[in-house]
């Protein structure tokens, strides 16, 4: 198994645990993502799994919707992406992505895999769970995110209605690294509903 596949599985395990831990009455709770509920956060992650399949002319397998069963919807979407990573020929195939020409596995790693880390924080924060991001993840993400291109913060730069990152939230220089990372990504580390 490649490092990318292992990293994806670890992140998906953590995200799935957060989805499974959401109390039934909390799915409509607001999230740190403007205009999204906790259910919408999971919906976004499932939708991003579908985006990973599109360059290959594939779509998600039939499964319950996020409205019906958020965990089942995520588990099914995850299985579809893991199937790509488990097939060496498919994983190494090059596809056109918004970031340029990438292998399927690199596209997954740079988009939906990392998305589960950040949106896992959003889901945890929205539903009263432990929102600690693995410190190794924070350390690994920090250097690359300090110089986000401005276009990543422009609504619609990657398509109608697409917002990648919000405006930077100023966080004190001596704040914990997770807080500084969240601020760079346009999130208020002290957000509450």
* pLDDT higher than 90, residue 1: no
Angle among Cα 44, 46, 51 to the nearest 5 degrees reads 90
Q: Which residues pair with 45 in a beta bridge?
A: none
Q: What is the pLDDT of residues 118-171, one digit of tens each?
A: 999 999 999 999 999 999 999 999 998 887 777 666 665 555 555 667 788 999
Lowest-confidence region among 80-84, 96-100, 118-122, 140-144: 96-100
**Averaged over 75-85, what is the pLDDT?**
98
Q: Which of 126, 121, 118, 101 is nearest to 163 (CA)?
A: 118
**Averaged over 62-84, what is the pLDDT?**
98
List of domains in the chain: 3-131 (1.20.120.450), 132-193 (no CATH)
Buried b (16+ CB within 10 A) or exposed e, 86-106: eeeebbebeeebeeeebbbbb
Lowest-confidence region among 79-83, 146-150, 183-187: 146-150
Lowest-confidence region among 56-65, 155-164, 181-190: 155-164
Q: What is the pLDDT of residues 3-29, one digit of tens each?
A: 999 999 999 999 999 999 999 999 999
């Amino acid at each position: 198994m490649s490092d990318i596949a292992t990293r994806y599985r670890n992140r998906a395990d953590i995200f799935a645990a957060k989805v499974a831990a959401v109390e039934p009455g909390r799915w409509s709770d607001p999230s740190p993502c403007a205009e999204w509920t906790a259910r919408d956060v999971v919906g976004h992650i499932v939708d991003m799994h579908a985006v990973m399949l599109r360059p290959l002319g594939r779509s998600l397998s039939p499964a319950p919707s996020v409205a019906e069963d958020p965990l089942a919807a995520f588990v099914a979407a995850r299985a579809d992406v893991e199937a790509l990573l488990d097939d060496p020929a498919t994983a190494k195939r090059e596809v056109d992505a918004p970031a340029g020409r990438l292998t399927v596995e690199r596209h997954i790693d740079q988009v939906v895999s990392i998305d589960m880390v950040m949106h896992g924080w959003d889901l945890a924060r929205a539903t009263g769970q432990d929102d600690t991001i693995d410190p190794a993840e924070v350390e690994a993400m920090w250097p690359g995110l300090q110089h986000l291109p401005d276009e990543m913060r422009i609504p619609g730069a990657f398509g109608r209605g697409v917002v990648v990152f919000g405006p930077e939230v100023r966080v004190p220089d001596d704040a914990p690294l997770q807080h500084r990372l969240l601020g760079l990504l346009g999130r208020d580390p002290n957000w509450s509903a």
